[in-house]
Amino acid sequence: MTQDTPQRALITGSNGFVGEWLVDHLNAKRYEVHGIDLQEQSNYPSVAYHHIDLLDTAATAALVTDLQPEIIFHLAAVSYLPDADRSPRQSIDINIAGTMAVLDAVKVGAPAARILLVGSAKEYSDSILSDGVTEDTPPRPTNFYGISKYACELIGLQYCRQFGIDIRCTRSFNHTGPGQSHRFVCSDWARQVAAISLKLAEPFVTVGDLNATIDFSDVRDVVNAYYLILEKGKPGEVYNICSGSGVDLSWILGYLCDKTPIPVAVQHINGKNRPYKSNVKMIGSHRKVTGHTGWQPSIPLQRTLDELYEWWMGELGKGSQESGVWS
């Protein structure tokens, strides 16, 4: 490419929640952004979209060879933990085989590319009850999602060692923000409270177990970390992406419920409790990624929750106006 030609970035899973924010971040950095996903069309007009199933290895390899991207963000995965538990084979096929398809495509067609493999804090054990969890903590995943992500990390690091491909990995802790699916806890509660504010729902919020302290980051901080890892991080390294602080789920619920002037009751539903064990408290350390790249989380959780709630107010308000329910 000439000096005036923008660098190319490729995002797998570009139609997802994190993909949206990463597209915006890379556009702001003047990248030519390409995306891959399973849907017929892109959700975001600012991405050059390719409708490809990563498991179609020939199509994936042809695209990577044709594009010659400088950087690749591999986001595509079965990322909702209950989905992986319900269909372990699917999560293994998509998460592991999909990762290998990308790595093989790069090995053959674009060996100079830098690749970020996005993993999860679910690679760590559910028995951890600690703050300051570092990358030196041995991974011991206890669910199919975490197992598949740890396998991808191991495979990626082996490709780095054996084939010399520039691969960097994350173990990303919980993150949220505007646009997240209501299947995830903060977005679920923000959506319920917004519906109450708009008088589209009865004034109660259904919840599961609140007995947990969670390390939450804003999605915009997370995508900035992903970018900086490929800009300033090191090949063959694994990085925790986390806020480094914990917040009680009960505090998040109370903060969101206070958004509406309508008194809100809380209804505990056993069916919303997950059938598998989860950490009561696991807070990560971002010392390594900060040391290597200078990244620091910058968006306070209060702002994240404010904007998540306002996003749902807009989405639900728009929908109710279109259906004639709200005026």
pLDDT band at 257 (very low <50, low <70, confident <90, very high): very high
pLDDT for residue 126 = 86
Task: Please give the Cα distance from 24 to 53 (Å, whole number).
Answer: 23
- Residue 214 pLDDT more than 80? yes
- How large is the average pLDDT for residues 212-227? 97
pTM, full prediction: 0.94
pLDDT for residue 43 = 86
pLDDT for residue 87 = 78
- Residue 27 pLDDT more than 90? yes
- Residue 84 pLDDT more than 80? no
- Residue 304 pLDDT more than 90? yes
CATH code reported for the domain at 8-176+216-241: 3.40.50.720
Task: Please give the Cα distance from 308 to 327 (Å, whole number).
Answer: 22
Q: Which residues of 123-154 are buried (b: 16+ CB within 10 A; e: fewer)?
A: bbbbebeeeebebebebebebbbbbbbbbbbe
Q: What are residue 225's phi and psi, to 5 degrees? A: -60, -45
Task: Please give the Cα distance from 310 to 213 (Å, whole number).
Answer: 24
pLDDT band at 326 (very low <50, low <70, confident <90, very high): very low
Domain ranges of the chain: 8-176+216-241, 185-214+245-281+299-323
Paired residues of 37 in beta bridges: 51
pLDDT band at 319 (very low <50, low <70, confident <90, very high): low
CA angle centred on 241, ends 239 and 244, rounded to 5° = 115
- Residue 235 pLDDT more than 60? yes
pLDDT for residue 275 = 55
pLDDT band at 299 (very low <50, low <70, confident <90, very high): very high
- How large is the average pLDDT for residues 6-32? 96
Q: pLDDT digits over 105-134, tens only?
A: 999 999 999 999 999 999 999 888 788 899
- How large is the average pLDDT for residues 83-110? 91
Give the right CATH number for 185-214+245-281+299-323 from 3.40.50.1110, 1.10.10.10, 3.30.365.10, 3.90.25.10.
3.90.25.10
- How large is the average pLDDT for residues 96-112? 97
Task: Please give the Cα distance from 210 to 275 (Å, whole number).
Answer: 14
Which tokens is 76 given?
């595509």
- How large is the average pLDDT for residues 302-322? 89
Tell me the HSE value of 56 on the side-chain side, using a 13 A CA sphere: 12
pLDDT for residue 323 = 47
Dihedral (CA of 139, 141, 146, 147) sign = positive
Q: Which residue has the higher pLDDT, 323 or 136?
A: 136
